[in-house]
Amino acid sequence: MGFEEDFDRERARYEDGMARPSPEQLVRVGNAAYGAGLALLMLGRREEAAGWLERAALRWRESWEHATPTSWGRPIGAVKASLLAGSDGDTSAYAEWALELGTAAAESPIGRYAAALALLALDRAEEAAAVSATLVADEGFPPAVADALAAIAASDAAGVDGALERVLASFEERQEYLEDVAVADTVLVLRLLALRRGLTPSVLHSALLPA
């Protein structure tokens, strides 16, 4: 299966879900739109990808009304998708929303991950550093991702490079990916956050990243 086939599959899943809208379908169609967007990024079709990624963020945001109070994957997904879409205004809005949900003080490291992403997206580095430090200290959270967040907040270029290599390695070791679209999306998102901090991470090469 190639990324063209991935896109066709995800588009069909999205259209099927939107044809019978219900609260239960919102996360499903959000996932499908995100998968479609990632596949298009891998195909170099960035403008089309942005549209699908924006759809993903919107559907996940809409789904929150029907979610449990700790469904942190939805604000995480919305912030990541809007960053990948290159929608600065939307990214700021989703990041502010993620913080309004109380993610920075969440008991779950996944909630605090949402806060760290949001704070970095808003260029609130000092607060992001504090939240990232709790993730670095949390044995239940992926250490490479925590280290990358902390390094970005600290403007530690060498630390960012090393952490991103480890995050990519963790993706290359996986057997399963969201929506079966084999893309190291977290690497892409963390790199974008580093660029927003004025850093220039080393270019990584992988079958899981756009050329």
Domains (range + CATH), the chain: 3-196 (1.25.40)
pLDDT of the residue at 187: 98
Sequence-distant (≥ 6) Cβ neighbours of residue 102 within 8 angstroms: 111
Task: Name the token pair of 18.
Answer: 């939107």
pLDDT of the residue at 20: 87
Angstrom distance (rounded) from CA 148 to CA 204: 15
Q: What is the mean pLDDT of residues 35-63?
A: 98
Q: What is the mean pLDDT of residues 64-73?
A: 94
Proportion of the chain above pLDDT 70, given as a percent: 100
Q: What is the mean pLDDT of residues 16-33?
A: 92
Sequence-distant (≥ 6) Cβ neighbours of residue 121 within 8 angstroms: 79, 83, 91, 92, 95, 193, 196
- pTM of structure: 0.96
- Cα–chain-centroid distance for residue 87? 13
Q: Are 60 and 27 in contact (CB under 8 A)?
A: yes
pLDDT over 80 at 70, yes or no: yes
The whole-chain average pLDDT of the chain stands at: 97
pLDDT of the residue at 23: 82
pLDDT of the residue at 50: 98
Angstrom distance (rounded) from CA 132 to CA 145: 9
Query: What 3-state class would DSSP assign to 138?
Result: coil
Proportion of the chain above pLDDT 90, given as a percent: 95
71 or 20, which is more confident?
71
- Chain position carrying tokens 């600290």: 154
Please report which residue ranges of the chain form alpha helices under DSSP H: 3-19, 23-42, 46-63, 73-85, 88-100, 109-121, 125-136, 143-153, 157-172, 185-196
pLDDT of the residue at 62: 96
What DSSP designation does 203 have?
A: P
Q: What is the mean pLDDT of residues 167-171?
A: 98
Angstrom distance (rounded) from CA 189 to CA 28: 21
pLDDT of the residue at 24: 81
Instruction: Give residue 109's pLDDT band: very low, low, confident or very high (50, 70, 90).
Output: very high
Burial letters for 40-58: b for 16+ Cβ neighbours within 10 Å, e otherwise?
bbbbebeebbbebbbbbbb
Q: What is the mean pLDDT of residues 50-77?
A: 96
Angstrom distance (rounded) from CA 149 to CA 193: 9
pLDDT of the residue at 1: 58
pLDDT over 70 at 165, yes or no: yes
Q: What is the mean pLDDT of residues 179-197?
A: 97
Q: Which of 36, 70, 65, 71 is nearest to 50 (CA)?
A: 36
Q: How many CB atoms lie within 10 A of CB 199?
A: 17
